[in-house]
Amino acid sequence: MGTGSGTHAAAAGAGAPLLIGVLALQGDVREHIAMLEAVGARAVAVRRVAELDAVDGLVIPGGESTTMWKLATAFDLFEPVRKRIAEGMPAYGSCAGMIMLADRVLDAAPGQESFGGIAMTVRRNAFGRQIDSFEGPIGFDGLDGVDGVEGVLHGVFIRAPWVEEVDPAVHVSARVTAGPGAGRIVAVQHGALMATSFHPELTGDLRVHGRFVRLARAAR
């Protein structure tokens, strides 16, 4: 099934409001939609290819990455999402969404695939099981809108991955500063793609979503 890029091009004219989709197969879909709308974007749930075709960018929420891969395949969304990302659609992935945007995944389930796009290696469940979930401060480069200016946010990590390595083209935006996994990479940007190990949609802090919306506007 094609992605209908002509439809998307018509919908995304210069005068049209920015429309961000949230992949609605599992995870904190409503929370992401609320955050996106709070920073000035229109936001919709995406479960079908026609909905994907209409958006200017896509948020891939948390959940369980193997389940997300299987559901995306069952809903005939896996290849269309992968194609839109490869063609340059801005995307932001949190937690399992980070895994889905990684070109390389460690500890993946047999046969598991990702959408790819970010030239990095991610380890699934790197911080441990549900009981090992934790919260803590994170220094995030450029979070306040200016590259090189570090903002501090509160990170919520739930069965979270971390980034083992990145290719030179990938910008490391944040690392864990203390406690479990200190020094590990937990936020990256690669062109129009962003990913975090943690869940900003659970904190009420709008800055990560605001950064993604600015990125999507610039890309359009």
CATH superfamily to which 5-219 belongs: Class I glutamine amidotransferase (GATase) domain (3.40.50.880)
* pLDDT the model gives residue 14: 53
Question: What is the reported pTM?
Answer: 0.88
- Name the burial class of residue 161, with classes exposed (0-12), middle (13-18) and buried (19+) by CB atoms within 10 angstroms of its CB: buried
* pLDDT the model gives residue 82: 98
Helices (H) and strands (E) in the chain, counts: 7, 12
Q: Give the pair of three-digit tokens for residue 148.
A: 């090189």
Instruction: Name the residues annotated as catalytic.
Output: 95, 199, 201
10-residue mean pLDDT profile of the chain (220 residues): values are 43 71 94 96 97 98 93 97 98 96 92 96 76 74 71 84 95 84 90 95 92 94
* pLDDT the model gives residue 4: 45
* pLDDT the model gives residue 129: 60
* pLDDT the model gives residue 2: 41
Nearest to 205 by CA among 174, 163, 168: 174
